[in-house]
Amino acid sequence: GESVGLHLPTLSVQEGDNSIINCAYSNSASDYFIWYKQESGKGPQFIIDIRSNMDKRQGQRVTVLLNKTVKHLSLQIAATQPGDSAVYFCAENSETGGFKTIFGAGTRLFVKA
Amino acid sequence: GAVVSQHPSWVICKSGTSVKIECRSLDFQATTMFWYRQFPKQSLMLMATSNEGSKATYEQGVEKDKFLINHASLTLSTLTVTSAHPEDSSFYICSATVLGPKNEKLFFGSGTQLSVL
């Protein structure tokens, strides 16, 4: 199977601070990108998505930034809360190989109260 | 809406036995479902694409004879791990797509933790 990276870096932030989680994607042909949140023992949960014709998209307390030049995605979480503690994955979707979603390495976010 | 149910949540089996995992789309029809596996502290790795009424498409390195996928209806895909061994112990997650032919927005099941003794 495909996967972008096998390491799981950790980010620790204080409750109320803003969090920034970064991701490098692999396929320059990818045109749709998604951030997922995964809590322990559960399946991934959709957070926010962005298409390749955009460089920024905002949701509730979350913002995704896309830099296609360097194939980089970031997820910004405003006023981080303890309930935000989880593993966050970026994922990319492209026509390559038939429209499938490939996950990035993931980042574990710890929110300290 | 867009609920994906996966069963069982966890299973323990003896080495050499086969285990079947079910993935159901409860309130929508899914012509395409995806199966992922996840080892501890690692990312999700795509195993195969399950297409209703046709053979699954497996990713490179995934043994199709070991991981049998059946997608007989628009709401059910099954993954059977045949002759399971301890190295098959993993978290298996299915997903289904709701919108359009690009399989973009995925909804995930809650996963199945398989432990092979």
The pLDDT of residue A56 is: 98
**pLDDT of A55 above 70:** yes
Q: Which residues of B touch A99 (CB under 8 A)?
A: 101-104
Instruction: Tell me the pLDDT band of B100, cut-offs 50, 70 and 90.
Output: low
pLDDT at B1 over 80: no
pLDDT band at A89 (very low <50, low <70, confident <90, very high): very high
**Three-class HEC string of chain A:** CCCCCCCCCEEEEECCCCEEEEEECCCCCCCEEEEEEECCCCCCEEEEEEECCCCEEECCCEEEEEECCCCEEEEEECCCCHHHCEEEEEEEEECCCCCEEEECCCEEEEEEC
Give me the mean pLDDT over the A59-66 stretch. Answer: 97
Summarize pLDDT for B23-62 with one digit per residue, the tens.
Answer: 999 988 888 899 999 999 899 999 999 988 888 999 999 9
Which residues from chain B sit within 8 angstroms of residue A42, using beta carbons?
A: 110-111
A2-16, B5-19, B66-80: which range is least confident on average? A2-16
B29: burial class by Cβ within 10 Å (0-12, 13-18, 19+)?
A: exposed
| Most A-contacting residue of B39, B44, B63, B110 (CB-CB within 10 A), to test interface | B44
Q: Which residue of B has its CA nearest to A7?
A: B42
In angstroms, the separation between the Cα of residue B22 and the nearest Cα of chain A is 14
Q: Based on the number of CB atoms within 10 Å of its own CB, is B68 exposed (0-12), middle (13-18) or buried (19 or more)?
A: middle
In whole angstroms, give the CA distance from residue A108 to residue A86: 6
Residue in chain B lying closest to A88 (CA):
B43
Q: Please, are residues A5 and B43 in contact by the beta-carbon 8 Å criterion?
A: yes
How does the average pLDDT of chain B come out, rounded? 92
Contact between residue B4 and residue B95 where contact means Cβ atoms under 8 Å apart: yes
Q: Does B103 contact chain A (CB < 8 Å)? A: yes
Whether B110 sits inside 8 A of A42 (CB atoms) is yes
Asked if B117 has any chain A CB less than 8 Å from its own CB, the reply is no
Pairing of strands A10-14, A107-112: parallel
The alpha carbon of residue A75 is apart from the nearest alpha carbon of chain B, in Å, by 17
Query: In sequence order, what are the residues at sequence separation of 6 or more whose Cβ sits closer than 8 angstroms to the Cβ of residue A46?
Result: A34, A36, B105, B106, B107
Percent over 70 (pLDDT), chain A: 94
pLDDT above 70 covers a percentage of chain B that reads 95
Q: Closest Cα partner for B34 from B22, B15, B54, B49?
A: B49
Taking the CB of residue B13, how many other CB atoms lie within 10 A of it?
16
Average pLDDT, chain A: 91
Whether the predicted pLDDT of A1 surpasses 60: no
When pLDDT is averaged across residues B81-109 and rounded to a whole number, the result is: 89
Measured between beta carbons, which residues in chain A are less than 8 angstroms from residue B62? 1
- Residue A88 and residue B44: Cα distance in Å, rounded? 11
Q: What is the DSSP letter of B59?
A: P
Check CB contact under 8 Å for A8 and B44: no
Most confident of A10-14, A93-97, B102-106: A10-14
pLDDT at A2 over 50: no
